[in-house]
Amino acid sequence: MKSIDEKQVETGPEAPDGGATRTAVRKEVLGEDDAGSRVDRVLARLLPTVPRTRLLRLLRRGEVRLNGKRVGGDARVAAGDVLRVPPVRLEAPPAVEGAAAEGGGAASKRVPPRLVEAVEASIVHQDERLLVIDKPSGIAVHGGSGIGFGVIEALRASRPDETLELVHRLDRDTSGCLLIARRRSTLRSLHALLREEAFDKRYLALLRGKWDLGTKLIDAPLRTDLRVGGERTVRVAANGKPAQTQIRPVQFFGRLATLVEVRLLTGRTHQIRVHAAYAGHPVAGDEKYGDEAFNEQLRGFGLKRLFLHAHSIGFTDPQRQVDVALSAPLPDDLKQVLDALSQRAGKLRPASVNT
């Protein structure tokens, strides 16, 4: 999702008051992650500190527009829709007490200090335009859908004077490289690269069984707008959106499992997990698309979560015209699983990537 017309400010009923500040009107181009969601839930994610009663009032007044038209909170959005987020008044947040405040941390009590500290500790690179996070598994990139806070809310709480926006997203259970723009111009230029699919995004994943397909391109369209019991479910479907995933074996653990490097050529929701399962080799620890018997077997080797890690991302910086390569090593918990598998499998083929 990206913002446009960010600097435009409109007058309206949500006028500034005392020490409060007022946001500018935003027009958000909604992405795949929001497809199928209700307008009120998307709005709550975009304005996480605004009470729900005020959000509902904005909807009733017709200040929230979807593709230029008034819309109710129960309407569903699609990728590519433009949501007008009206200006709202924000009260000055109180400082966080405790360790985070002493270190100049979170600016709001609403974001738990422990989350702020965990996210700040996961920063692996920063310059004047970009933050790179080695996102831990289990932390969402943003709040919403029953999740109060994520990476972006924690960073905004600890850096209240900065303009921070997610460049892209990772699933909550996926660890690894996550980019945060510190300037609007950086966000726009990197979003343009994403639209052109000019990012080289690579993941490490542990798949069920022995991958005998060599380096394989999976070209299978995906439906990302399906709901099963109210929960988003992605499936291979002829009428889906184009999706391509390249999988290359790295290390074999007998016939039990294979460590692979995955290169994303498109960026659909749950793409790696669905394509791996479609190929007959689901990702270890995947409770949604995976194999429960395999997952249970891997728990015996210490696996406690999805074995999927965004280990590198590369692109040509359009503003500086230089190649950028960023990486995050495989976390210790996943390395320990590989060590346990190695002891079981004995002599293995050597890995061809640095894990």
Q: Which positions are catalytic?
A: 171
Bridge partners (DSSP) of residue 123 are 133
Query: For residues 12 and 61, what is the distance between their CA atoms, to the nearest angstrom?
Result: 11
- Give dist(CA 107, CA 124) in Å, integer: 22
Q: Comparing C-alpha atoms, which of 354, 310, 355, 337 is closest to residue 253? A: 337
Closest CA to 317 of 169, 123, 203, 167: 167
Three-state secondary structure readout of 167-200: CCCCCCCCEEEEEEECCHHHHHHHHHHHHCCCCE
265 burial class (0-12, 13-18, 19+ CB within 10 angstroms)?
Answer: middle
Q: How far apart are CA 265 and CA 199, in angstroms?
A: 8
Tokens coding 223: 């439906």
State the distance between the two ends of the chain, measured CA to CA, in whole angstroms. 31
DSSP letters spanning 15-81: ---TT-EEPPPEEEE--GGGTT-BHHHHHHHHSTTS-HHHHHHHHHTT--EETTEE--TT-B--TT-
Is the Cβ–Cβ distance between 222 and 237 less than 8 Å? Answer: yes
